[in-house]
């Protein structure tokens, strides 16, 4: 993301300076990364969790291990680690997992209360709005952030809605409520581009008697935009600044995809439509990172595995629309097990309640898979809500697993997290205690929550 | 028993001749709120003939060894759209709304026993359900009916067992909603001794475009104790609802009640049962600022009867996950089981259902693990003593797409 934003800033300079007929002496290091993350971790102290049971988020299970975090990072985990000079938490009999990562959230862009003035997720004024950025809509005081945190969610990816063929850019956040968007943004996380297949765009625009009103209209809309984007990209690569096109925000986003810097997060339910989107990605030479909702992903599980595309799914939602009719609860497991277990399955929420219980959603999906004949362990299923979504958001090098050197984004659970009775006891973000179920001072209260019931009573959590 | 349909009796007597089944050694949650105990259950015909240990049986009895698996009454959804909504976003598949009728809109004759949601919910342990009209801008949506989910074309259930409605934020003032609601209740009062034709000519009835069916329903609501399921959330609105209960002697059931903990003493004193979605802790509107995961616990500890709804798209069995979360936050386990079974049957007078007690209808589910864990699943589902097929479109699709034969999927069947 840094690169493309540098480039964008550079282009601004070029257009303004080219009038003078000379190219400025550009120093890339001096270019400001507009809207970049200013996130800094909260204060933390070196902590050793003793005798915990650990799912590392990569498929590993470690019983009775110690985990050391310090300076915001995971230092090491192993048996009988030295506890000198660090805070010690007895975690015997409890479970530790990586922080939960939701790849599909609308928190902040569809804030609670869900009133018209907070409905900021769909720029439903044109089928192609690749120019909008979800982060420019986010309300930092959305009370849903704190509820998700209580469910163990340490990071999440906020997407625009699915009214449009190209809905705009998505962004990744650390789950610490702050007063600016930039202060919440996950450092160095790439942007995504939200695309949407099927019923939503054709309904929204078809009802207005404009294109697209059909699925074929959807395809024509995407392809026309990609043709423009290829031309724009090629134009921007011209050596002669005078030959370059005027900067265009929507085209910047599509160009970012073509350049491999912006990841495609594609709302798409039906099998044949997902296959069509893959074909289109080959026509214009870009990669689809994830299909979202993907209720029919199981019908093309091998294709998705072969193409290295993740599918982010619900455990059991169906029937609310026609393209969500063919739900099978083994969908997630079938994707996971495709091509000898090389598939990339993700459990997503798309919902402010669901995001609080992604561990339970993973439990349902694992159980359904095992009923369908697979042998999927809890340790393995943990990937669906940790490392796989972190990979799909382009931040796996920072979070999503318990490995030395990664951000200390972890959850200490009261019970095994695949049980409905499990609650997050402590949630650490970059090593700092962002939530502690036993310490009211370590439970965030947004401005919205503060004193809203009556001046002395905060909204209960 | 006024609302009992005749077909219900007819079908019961026919199925009484089927063979006996012994469920041996299950951990039986009776639904009454009692702790689970290891018991045998003898099913004879459509009912639970005996419960005990080492029951004697005859040679024709089929014995199913449960080895301690949990057993509960069949789950009863108190609030569903089963059988009347196939696909929410496709109006042509919806039968849950009326443009003409209001309080008197009955969905009973629209019920489709072949709707795909029925085998899906049945295979997940829901053996019967109350199906209610969709919400509308009018404070009374219409009449809900009760259905047995065995998929039979001979529809079994109870017609028009409850009125559903809502009080709270709307496009106009809630004061206006409350006024209309009270006026409707007053029309209902008049209906006890005034001809329907005369009421229809009254100014308000005319203004609200009420029909004869609406007046009859209001009569049942106010004068005959028809349960009134009223959705409301704001603490002060809950108090308004309790005042209506007292003033008109309503058989009130409150749903959603997200701010109930703030008025828990008044709610407790009213004796009103509630239907909650324990997982919905989002302040979705300014009526629900007090929403919290502790709702189930607070209601349960006040001794209030709690039932469970879920808004999760045709998945009414997910009240198990909802109640499991309530238990995780302090509700008692047996209140949770009761809330999905006997409490619903008692509140809506559903006859001999909702508990595992001798002489009751044998709607029973045997689970592969703790029924409050969303990852557990039924091993056996019995409706009226008959073991149910646990397949659904989902299982058929799963079989098709886990079949690795090298041919088009349309030939894998």
Residue B331 lies in a domain: yes
Chain A nearest-CA residue for B90: A321
Chain B, nearest residue to A458 by Cα: B290
Least confident of A310-324, B134-148, B162-176, B335-349: B162-176
- How confident is the model at residue B3, as a pLDDT? 39
| Of A250, A183, A201, A256, residue with least CA distance to A429 | A183
Q: What is the ipTM of this complex?
A: 0.94
With 60 as the cut, is the pLDDT of residue B220 above it?
yes
Tens of pLDDT, residues B180-189: 999 999 999 9
Q: What is the pLDDT of residues B53-112, one digit of tens each?
A: 988 888 889 999 999 999 999 999 999 999 999 999 999 999 999 999 999 999 999 999
Within-domain flag for B402: no
Residue B18 pLDDT exceeds 60: no
Q: How many CB pairs under 8 A join A and B?
A: 128
DSSP secondary structure, A204-251, as one string: HHHTTT-S-SSHHHHHHHHHHHHHHHHHHHHHHT-SSGGGSPPP-HHH
Across the interface, which of B87, B116, B261 has its CB nearest the CB of A322?
Answer: B87
How close does chain B come to A410, measured CA to CA in Å? 21
CATH number at residue B249: 3.20.20.140
Q: Does any domain span residue B171?
A: yes
- From chain B, the residues in CB contact with A323 under 8 A are none
Distance CA B99, CA B186 (A): 23
Distance to chain A for B134, nearest Cα, Å: 14
- Whether residues A321 and B372 touch (CB distance < 8 A) is answered with no
From residue A57, alpha-carbon distances to A338, A401, B354 in Å are 19, 5, 42
- Average pLDDT of the segment spanning B9-37: 78
Name the residue with tokens 């449960």. B66
Q: Is residue B15 very low, low, confident or very high in pLDDT (cuts 50, 70, 90)? A: very low
What average pLDDT does range A392-408 have in this prediction? 98
User: Which one is predicted more confidently, A97 or B5?
Assistant: A97
In a domain, B405, yes or no: no
The arrangement of secondary structure in A35-41+98-404, i.e. its CATH architecture, is Alpha-Beta Barrel (3.20)
Q: Of A12, A168, A112, A116, whose CA–CA distance to A353 is shortest?
A: A112
User: What pLDDT score was predicted for residue A32?
Assistant: 63
| Spatial CB neighbours of B391, under 8 Å, sequence gap ≥ 6 | B119, B123
Asked whether A114 and A448 are in contact (CB, 8 A), the reply is: no
Q: How far apart are CA A95 and CA A411, in angstroms?
A: 8
Q: List the single residue in B285, B292, B374 with the smallest CB-CB distance to A420.
A: B374
Interface of A with B in 329-348 (CB under 8 A): 329-330, 334
* Averaged pLDDT score across all residues of chain B: 94
User: Which of 310-329 (A) contact B at CB < 8 A?
Assistant: 316-322, 324-329
Query: What is the distance in angstroms between the Cα of B52 and the nearest Cα belonging to chain A?
Result: 31
Q: Above 50 in pLDDT, residue A34?
A: yes
Name chain B contacts of A329, Cβ cutoff 8 Å: 394, 398
A452 closest CB neighbour out of B289, B318, B329: B289
Chain B residues with beta carbon closer than 8 angstroms to that of A372: 398, 402
- Per-residue pLDDT averaged across A117-128, rounded? 97
**What's the pLDDT at A77?**
94
pLDDT tens column, A324-344: 999 999 999 999 999 999 999
Contact indicator for B396, B123 with CB cutoff of 8 Å: no
Q: Which residues of B touch A111 (CB under 8 A)?
A: none
CA distance B330 to B297: 5
Q: What is the pLDDT of residues A419-446, one digit of tens each?
A: 999 999 999 999 999 999 999 999 999 9
Cβ contact, residue pair B394, A320, below 8 Å:
no
Question: CB-based contact (8 Å) between A275 and chain B?
Answer: no
- Asked whether residue B9 is assigned to any structural domain, the reply reads no
- What integer is the mean pLDDT of B228-254? 98
Closest chain A residue to the Cα of B318, Cα to Cα:
A316
User: Which of A199, A316, A373 has the CB atom closest to B402's CB atom?
Assistant: A373
Residue A453 sits at the chain B interface (C-beta within 8 Å):
yes
Q: Does A318 sit within 8 Å of B284, measured CB to CB? A: no
pLDDT at A20: 42
Segment A68-96 shows an average pLDDT of 95
Bridge partners for A100 per DSSP: A153
Q: Give the nearest partner residue to A453 out of B89, B289, B398, using CB atoms.
A: B289
For residues A3 and B8, what is the distance between their CA atoms, to the nearest angstrom? Answer: 71
Q: Which residues pair with A346 in a beta bridge?
A: A312
Interface touch B377/A328, C-beta < 8 Å: no
Please answer yes or no on whether A112 and B284 come within 8 Å at the CB atom: yes
Could you tell me the strand order of the sheet in which A166-174 lies?
A100-105, A153-158, A166-174, A192-196, A263-268, A288-293, A310-313, A344-347
B7 assigned to some structural domain: no
Task: Quote the pTM value.
Answer: 0.94
pLDDT reported for residue B145: 98
pLDDT value, residue A288: 98
Nearest CA distance, A227 vs chain B (angstrom): 33
Are A420 and B280 within 8 A, CB to CB?
Answer: no
Query: Mean pLDDT over residues A385-402, rounded?
Result: 98
Mean pLDDT of A107-119: 96
Q: Which residue of A lies nearest to B392 if distances are taken between CA atoms?
A: A328
Res A83: pLDDT: 82
- Tell me, yes or no, if A141 comes closer than 8 A to chain B by beta carbon: no
Shortest Cα–Cα distance, B268 to chain A (Å)? 21
Residues in A touching B295 (Cβ below 8 Å): none
For chain A, domain boundaries: 35-41+98-404
Question: pLDDT at position A19, please?
Answer: 41
Going by their DSSP bridges, the two strands A100-105 and A153-158 should be labelled as parallel
Specify the pLDDT at position A457.
Answer: 86
Q: Do A319 and B117 touch (CB under 8 A)?
A: yes
- Contact of A147 with chain B, judged by CB distance below 8 Å, is answered with yes
Query: What is the mean pLDDT of the segment spanning B36-48?
Result: 97
A318/chain B closest Cα distance in angstroms:
6
The mean of the pLDDT values for chain A is: 93
- Within a domain: residue B3? no
B288, B313, B327: residue with CB nearest A319: B313
- Whole-number Cα distances in Å, B158 to A76, B163, B217: 63, 13, 15
Pairing of strands A61-70, A47-55: antiparallel
User: A 101-130 residues with CB below 8 A of B?
Assistant: 112-115
B353 found inside a domain: yes
Tell me which residue range forms the domain holding B140.
71-393
Do the beta carbons of residue A195 and residue A166 sit within 8 Å?
yes
What is the β-pairing status of strands A410-413 and A95-98? antiparallel
Residues of A in contact with B325 (CB under 8 A): 357, 360, 420
Range A3-8 contact pairs with CB under 8 angstroms and sequence separation of 24 or more: A3/A261, A4/A191, A4/A252, A4/A255, A4/A256, A4/A259, A4/A261, A4/A262, A5/A33, A5/A34, A5/A35, A5/A36, A6/A31, A6/A33, A8/A34, A8/A247, A8/A252
Residue A23 confidence (pLDDT) = 45
Across the interface, of B279, B372, B398, the residue whose CB is closest to A353 is B279
Judged by a CB distance cut-off of 8 A, whether residue A204 touches chain B is: no
| Contact of A434 with A105, CB cutoff 8 Å | no
Domain total in chain B: 1
Q: How far is A40 from chain B (nearest CA, A)?
A: 28
pLDDT digits (tens, 9 = 90+) for B352-388: 999 999 999 999 999 999 999 999 999 999 999 999 9
């Amino acid at each position: 993301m840094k690169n493309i934003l540098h480039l964008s800033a550079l282009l601004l300079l070029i257009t303004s300076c080219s009038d003078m007929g000379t190219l400025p002496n550009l120093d890339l290091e001096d270019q400001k990364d507009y809207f970049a993350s200013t996130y800094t971790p909260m204060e933390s102290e070196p902590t050793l969790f003793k005798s915990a049971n650990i799912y590392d988020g990569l498929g590993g299970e470690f019983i009775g291990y110690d985990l050391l975090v310090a300076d915001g990072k995971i230092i090491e985990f192993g048996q009988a680690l030295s506890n000198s000079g660090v805070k010690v938490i007895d975690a015997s009999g409890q479970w530790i997992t990586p922080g939960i990562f939701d790849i599909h959230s609308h928190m902040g862009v569809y804030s609670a209360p869900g009133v018209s003035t907070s409905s900021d997720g769909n720029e439903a004024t044109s089928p192609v709005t690749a120019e909008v950025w979800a982060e420019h809509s986010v309300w930092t005081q959305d009370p849903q952030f704190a509820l998700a945190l209580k469910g163990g969610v340490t990071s999440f990816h906020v997407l625009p809605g699915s009214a449009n063929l190209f809905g705009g850019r998505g962004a990744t956040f650390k789950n610490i409520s702050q007063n600016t968007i930039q202060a919440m943004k996950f450092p160095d996380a790439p942007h995504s581009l939200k695309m949407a297949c099927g019923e939503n765009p054709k309904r929204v625009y078809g009802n207005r008697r404009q294109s697209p009103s059909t699925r074929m209209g959807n395809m024509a809309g995407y392809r026309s935009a990609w043709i423009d984007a290829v031309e724009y990209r090629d134009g921007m690569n011209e050596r002669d600044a005078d030959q370059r096109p005027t900067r265009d925000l929507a085209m910047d986003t599509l160009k970012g995809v073509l350049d491999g810097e912006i990841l495609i997060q594609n709302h798409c339910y039906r099998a044949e439509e997902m296959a069509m989107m893959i074909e289109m990605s080959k026509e214009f030479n870009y990669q689809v990172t994830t299909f979202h909702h993907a209720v029919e992903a199981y019908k093309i599980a091998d294709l998705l595995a072969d193409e290295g595309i993740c599918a982010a799914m619900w455990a059991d939602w169906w029937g609310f629309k026609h393209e969500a009719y063919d739900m099978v609860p083994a969908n997630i497991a079938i994707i996971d097990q495709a091509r000898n277990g090389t598939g990339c399955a993700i459990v997503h929420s798309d919902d402010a309640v669901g995001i609080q219980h992604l561990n339970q959603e993973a439990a349902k999906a694992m159980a359904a898979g095992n009923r369908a004949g697979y042998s999927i362990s809890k340790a393995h299923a943990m990937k669906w809500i940790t490392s796989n979504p972190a990979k799909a958001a382009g931040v796996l090098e920072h979070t999503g697993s318990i490995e030395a050197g990664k951000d200390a984004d972890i959850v200490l659970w009261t019970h095994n997290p695949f049980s409905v009775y499990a609650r997050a006891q402590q949630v650490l973000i970059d090593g700092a205690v962002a939530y502690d179920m036993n310490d009211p001072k370590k439970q965030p209260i947004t401005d919205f929550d503060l004193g809203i019931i009556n001046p002395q009573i905060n909204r209960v959590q | 028993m006024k609302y009992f349909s005749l077909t219900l009796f007819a079908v019961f007597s026919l199925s009484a001749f089927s063979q006996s089944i012994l469920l041996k050694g299950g951990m039986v949650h009776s639904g009454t709120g009692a702790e689970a105990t290891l018991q045998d259950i003898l099913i004879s015909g459509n009912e639970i003939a005996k419960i005990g240990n080492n029951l004697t049986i005859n040679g024709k009895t089929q014995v199913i060894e449960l080895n301690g698996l949990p057993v509960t009454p069949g789950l009863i959804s108190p609030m569903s759209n089963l059988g009347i909504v196939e696909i929410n976003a496709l109006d042509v598949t919806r039968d849950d709304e009326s443009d003409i009728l209001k309080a008197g809109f009955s969905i009973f004759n629209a019920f489709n026993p072949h709707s795909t949601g029925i085998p899906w919910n049945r295979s997940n342990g829901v053996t019967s359900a109350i199906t209610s009209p969709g919400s509308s801008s009018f404070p009374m949506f219409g009449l809900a009916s009760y259905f047995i989910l065995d998929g039979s074309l001979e529809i079994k259930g109870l017609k028009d067992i409850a009125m559903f409605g809502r009080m709270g934020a709307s496009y106009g003032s809630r004061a206006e909603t409350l006024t209309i609601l009270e006026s409707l209740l007053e029309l209902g009062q008049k209906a006890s001794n005034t001809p329907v034709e005369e009421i229809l000519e009254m100014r308000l009835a005319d203004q609200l475009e009420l029909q004869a069916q609406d007046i009859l329903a209001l009569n049942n609501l106010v004068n005959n104790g028809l349960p009134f399921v009223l959705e409301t959330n704001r603490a002060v609105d809950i108090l308004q609802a309790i005042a209506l209960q007292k003033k008109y002697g309503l058989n009130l059931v409150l749903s959603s009640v997200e701010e109930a903990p703030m008025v828990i003493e008044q709610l407790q004193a009213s004796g009103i049962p509630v239907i909650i979605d324990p997982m919905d802790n989002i302040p979705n509107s300014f009526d629900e600022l007090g929403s919290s995961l502790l709702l189930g616990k607070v209601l349960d500890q006040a001794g209030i009867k709690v039932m469970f709804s879920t808004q999760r798209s045709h998945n009414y069995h997910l009240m198990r996950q909802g109640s499991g979360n309530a238990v995780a936050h302090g509700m008692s386990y047996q209140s949770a089981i009761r809330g999905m079974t006997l409490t619903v049957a008692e509140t809506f007078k559903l006859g001999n259902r909702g508990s595992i007690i001798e002489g009751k209808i044998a709607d029973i589910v045997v689970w592969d693990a703790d029924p409050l864990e969303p990852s557990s699943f039924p091993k056996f589902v019995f409706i009226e003593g008959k073991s149910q097929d646990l397949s659904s479109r989902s299982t058929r699709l799963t079989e098709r797409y886990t079949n690795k034969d090298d041919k088009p999927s349309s030939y894998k069947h």
